Structures are given as structure tokens and as C-alpha cells.
């Protein structure tokens, strides 16, 4: 329960705790400023129907996703239409890196972390399912994002990105 020094991580965590859902562990309450951020996220989620949705679909060792998206608030949904588990790591390249340069960097075995912004998100889905979460981003014109899967089919198998499972998503420039 939340004491005077904290608040629930989210209204959902409180509901799960109150209903004693088997296997749930919403964790200890956290500081109020994070709870306010959670409330802001909940408010944003209630407006999700008006925020454009971009589908990223995994097929074995490739993504089906738009090459370009308009700027502004955007939700990303991940669907795995493949026969093995996949992920999509979504991260933004630093300003000044073109889509062609970004694609060339992703084709390398390793590229410097300094070329990507520090933020990002990961969605994971089993074969034939969609990730239960979505990612929200406020996209700015000209930004370049990477979509990458680094899963392996076995301990000795190549990572999926080495098999070509990466893509670039460019945020269009407004006229």
C-alpha cells in the first residue's frame, strides 16, 4: 500500500493488488512524481484512438513497416507473423545521420552506441501474436529510427539482424 512517501506505479498496479490477481506483484509504491508521470501516460492512453497507429509486422528475418511516417504523436504496434519469436528494438539515430547511412550502420556487426540517442523501446511477440504493449513517440520531422531484431533461433544461430532483420523508418518533412 502507498504510504505518505510514495504512490502506486499505476492505477492498474493498484487494481491488480486490490483484486489479489494470482502471480501478480506490482511492487512497492514509488515516489509521487513518477506516479504523476504514470497518470499522464494513462491520460494519453485514453486519447489513443486519435493518435495514429503504425503497424510493424515481423516475418521470419524481415519487417513489414512503412518507410516513412508523418511527424507528430504516434503509436507503434508490433505483430509477429513469423514462425519464431521476434522482437523489435526501436531507437532513434542522432541528428544528421541519413536513412542510407543508418541502413549501412545497421548492416555492420557492431556500430557505435554514440550514433543512437539514449532512448528507445523494445516490443516482443511470440509467433502468430501481437505484443500486448504499444510504444508511444512524438516524432519530429527528419528523424531516422531503426527497427532491429537481435533474437537467435538457438544459442549457436546468427542473430536475426545478421539475417537481414532490420529496417529504417524515416519521419517525413512537412512541406
Q: Which domain CATH number covers 138?
A: 2.60.40.420
Within-domain flag for 1:
no
3-class SS at 29?
coil
Residues 41 and 101 in one domain: no
Within-domain flag for 148:
yes
Best CA proximity match to 95, nearest among 115, 113, 110, 112: 115
Per DSSP, what are the bridge partners of residue 116? 93
Does residue 151 register a pLDDT over 90?
A: yes
What tens digit of pLDDT does each residue of 38-87 get? 445 555 555 556 899 999 999 989 999 999 999 999 999 999 999 999 99
Q: What is the mean pLDDT of the chain?
A: 81
Per DSSP, what are the bridge partners of residue 120? 91
- pTM of the predicted model, to two decimals? 0.71
Residues 40 and 55 in one domain: no
Within-domain flag for 80:
yes
Residues 107 and 139 in one domain: yes
pLDDT at 169: 97
**109 pLDDT tier (thresholds 50, 70, 90):** confident
pLDDT at 41: 54
Cell numbers 531484431 label which residue? Answer: 149
CA gap 174, 75 in Å, rounded: 19
For residues 174 and 87, which has the higher predicted lDDT (pLDDT)?
87
pLDDT at 29: 42
Best CA proximity match to 170, nearest among 31, 71, 22: 71
Residues 55 and 140 in one domain: yes
Residues 56 and 119 in one domain: yes
How many residues does the structure list for the chain? 175
Best CA proximity match to 119, nearest among 101, 94, 100, 87: 94
Residue 114: DSSP 8-state: G
Does residue 89 register a pLDDT over 80?
A: yes
What nine digits make up the cell of 46? 485514453
Residues 69 and 141 in one domain: yes
pLDDT at 2: 44
Mean of the pLDDT values across residues 11-29?
A: 47
Mean of the pLDDT values across residues 121-125?
A: 96
Residues 109 and 80 in one domain: yes
Within-domain flag for 125:
yes
* Count of Cβ atoms closer than 10 Å to residue 63 Cβ: 20
pLDDT at 4: 40
Residues 26 and 88 in one domain: no
Residues 61 and 87 in one domain: yes
Per the structure, the complete domain to which residue 76 belongs is given by: 50-171
pLDDT at 5: 42
Within-domain flag for 167:
yes
pLDDT at 19: 54
Our count of domains for the chain comes to 2
Does residue 93 register a pLDDT over 60?
A: yes
Amino acid at each position: 500500500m502507498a504510504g505518505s512517501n510514495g504512490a502506486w506505479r499505476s492505477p492498474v498496479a493498484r487494481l491488480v493488488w486490490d483484486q489479489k490477481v494470482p502471480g501478480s506483484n506490482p511492487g512497492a509504491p514509488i515516489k509521487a512524481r513518477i506516479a504523476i508521470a504514470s497518470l499522464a501516460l494513462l491520460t494519453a492512453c485514453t486519447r489513443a484512438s486519435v493518435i495514429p497507429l503504425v503497424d510493424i509486422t515481423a516475418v521470419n528475418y524481415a519487417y513489414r513497416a512503412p518507410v516513412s511516417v508523418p511527424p507528430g504523436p504516434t503509436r507503434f504496434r508490433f505483430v509477429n507473423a513469423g514462425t519464431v519469436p521476434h522482437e523489435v528494438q526501436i531507437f532513434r539515430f542522432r541528428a544528421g545521420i541519413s536513412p542510407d547511412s543508418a541502413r549501412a550502420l545497421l548492416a555492420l556487426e557492431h556500430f557505435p552506441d554514440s550514433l543512437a540517442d539514449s532512448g528507445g523501446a523494445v516490443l516482443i511477440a511470440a509467433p502468430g501474436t501481437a505484443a500486448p504493449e504499444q510504444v508511444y513517440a512524438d516524432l519530429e520531422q527528419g528523424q531516422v529510427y531503426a527497427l532491429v531484431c537481435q533474437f537467435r533461433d538457438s544459442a549457436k544461430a546468427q542473430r536475426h539482424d545478421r539475417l537481414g532483420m532490420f529496417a529504417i523508418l524515416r519521419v517525413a518533412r512537412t512541406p
